[in-house]
């Protein structure tokens, strides 16, 4: 499958000062955000839209494993009835056989009407494979966060501090009572097309919400205070950093749709709310 042509557009982001992490005023869930000033040394290019599909040159990890995690609320009764395992800490995630980037909700779903949505069910390993194939790379966490801020300083969201300025939705998130009721007030209970919500000051869409995005960095709970120039995170780890939150994020459970917020998964993980976009060094 050819990549969506718009996905190959890129924004060139200039050198600038980056504040990685911030206080979110949201209690204990903010501990991992950290707060240190870093110089983002090199200019870099960034895909405007996070909807690049995995390379046809390689089967995705979900296809190799034979299953991938899908939010229970999106599954047909038929698919749900065939599953007898769940994740104890998050029972709304079910391992669905034959769920992959072509079949986001399992074998009875497809992406034919979603070619302008973010790709899902792509592991970190496969995201790296795609970006490499495309002559690009994953962004570092610092690059991602710099891109998310869109030129604004000390703001919670890519557009400012207010979640819904003048009552307008700026990102695809969860409205209602997670995980039971998603009212879809923003227009979408699953992913949305990548350009339906406003771009940030750098012309980048969906930096928060819609789909989580992998970064290149290994996860650690705190940012290093020593690594002040173009930080790349720890040299080793178990999990990779993901940023931005998804259409499943609600403040009551996942206040991760902030530029500073972060979470993690193992590099072979895939799920129905996790995608990526590629970056490249500016030439």
User: With CB under 5 A as the contact rule, which of the stretches 12-20, 76-84, 187-195, 230-238 interacts with Ca ion?
Assistant: 187-195
Binding to Ca ion by residue 172, rule CB under 5 A?
Answer: yes
Looking at beta carbons only, is 136 or 190 nearer to Ca ion? 190
Q: Kindly state the smallest distance separating residue 189's Cβ from Ca ion, in Å.
A: 6
CA separation for the pair 141, 145 (Å, rounded): 6
Q: Which of 200, 206, 265, 270 binds Ca ion (CB under 5 A)?
A: 206
The three-class DSSP label of residue 74 is helix
Place of tokens 């089967």: 59
Window 207-226: residues binding Ca ion (CB under 5 A): 210
Q: In what order do the strands lie in the sheet with 279-281?
A: 10-13, 44-47, 279-281
Q: Kindly state the smallest distance separating residue 61's Cβ from Ca ion, in Å.
A: 20
Contact 266, 239 (CB under 8 A): yes
CA separation for the pair 241, 250 (Å, rounded): 20
Q: Which of 141, 159, 244, 265 binds Ca ion (CB under 5 A)?
A: 244
Looking at beta carbons only, is 15 or 24 nearer to Ca ion? 24
Residues counted in the chain: 283
User: With CB under 5 A as the contact rule, which of the stretches 3-11, 77-85, 119-127, 247-255 interacts with Ca ion?
Assistant: 247-255
The site for Ca ion, by CB under 5 A, has a size of: 7
| E-only strand ranges, the chain | 10-13, 16-20, 36-40, 44-47, 67-71, 93-97, 176-177, 181-182, 212-218, 240-243, 262-265, 274-275, 279-281
Q: Which of 139, 186, 214, 260 binds Ca ion (CB under 5 A)?
A: 186
Looking at beta carbons only, is 139 or 233 nearer to Ca ion? 139
Binding to Ca ion by residue 144, rule CB under 5 A?
Answer: no
Q: What residues contact 260, with CB distance under 8 A and at least 6 apart?
A: 20, 21, 22, 24, 33, 35, 145, 156
User: With CB under 5 A as the contact rule, which of the stretches 32-40, 172-180, 193-201, 253-261 interacts with Ca ion?
Assistant: 172-180
| DSSP letter for each residue of 97-149 | ET-BTTBTTSTT--STT-TTSPP-S--HHHHHHHHHHTT-BPPPHHHHHHHHH
Q: Kindly state the smallest distance separating residue 148's Cβ from Ca ion, in Å.
A: 9
Looking at beta carbons only, is 67 or 118 nearer to Ca ion? 118
Find residue 13's DSSP bridge partners.
Answer: 44
Binding to Ca ion by residue 139, rule CB under 5 A?
Answer: no
Q: Which of 101, 124, 146, 188 binds Ca ion (CB under 5 A)?
A: 188
Question: Can you give the binding site for Ca ion, defined by CB under 5 A?
Answer: 172, 186, 188, 206, 210, 244, 247
């Amino acid at each position: 499958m050819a990549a969506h042509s718009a996905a190959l557009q890129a924004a060139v982001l200039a050198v600038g000062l980056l504040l990685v992490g911030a206080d979110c005023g949201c209690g204990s869930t903010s501990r991992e955000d950290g707060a240190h000033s870093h110089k983002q040394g090199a200019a870099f290019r960034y895909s405007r839209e996070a909807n690049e599909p995995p390379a046809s040159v390689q089967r995705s990890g979900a296809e190799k494993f034979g299953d991938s995690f899908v939010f229970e609320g999106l599954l047909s009764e038929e698919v749900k009835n065939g599953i007898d395992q769940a994740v104890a800490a998050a029972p709304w995630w079910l391992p669905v056989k034959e769920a992959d980037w072509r079949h986001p909700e399992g074998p009875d779903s497809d992406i034919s009407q979603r070619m302008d949505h973010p790709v899902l069910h792509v592991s970190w390993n496969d995201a790296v494979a795609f970006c490499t194939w495309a002559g690009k790379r994953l962004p570092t966490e610092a690059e991602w966060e710099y891109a998310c801020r869109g030129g604004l300083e000390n703001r919670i969201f890519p557009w400012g501090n207010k979640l819904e300025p003048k009552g307008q939705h700026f990102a695809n998130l969860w409205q209602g009572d997670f995980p039971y009721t998603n009212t879809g007030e923003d227009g979408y209970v699953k992913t949305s097309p990548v350009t339906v919500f406003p771009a940030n000051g750098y012309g980048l869409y969906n930096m928060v919400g819609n789909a989580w995005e992998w970064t290149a960095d290994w996860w650690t709970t705190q940012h290093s205070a020593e690594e002040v120039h173009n930080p790349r995170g720890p040299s080793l780890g178990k999990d990779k950093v993901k940023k931005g939150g998804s259409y499943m994020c609600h403040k009551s459970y996942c206040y991760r749709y902030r530029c500073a917020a972060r979470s993690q998964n193992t590099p072979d993980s895939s799920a129905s709310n996790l995608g990526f976009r590629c970056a490249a060094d500016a030439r």
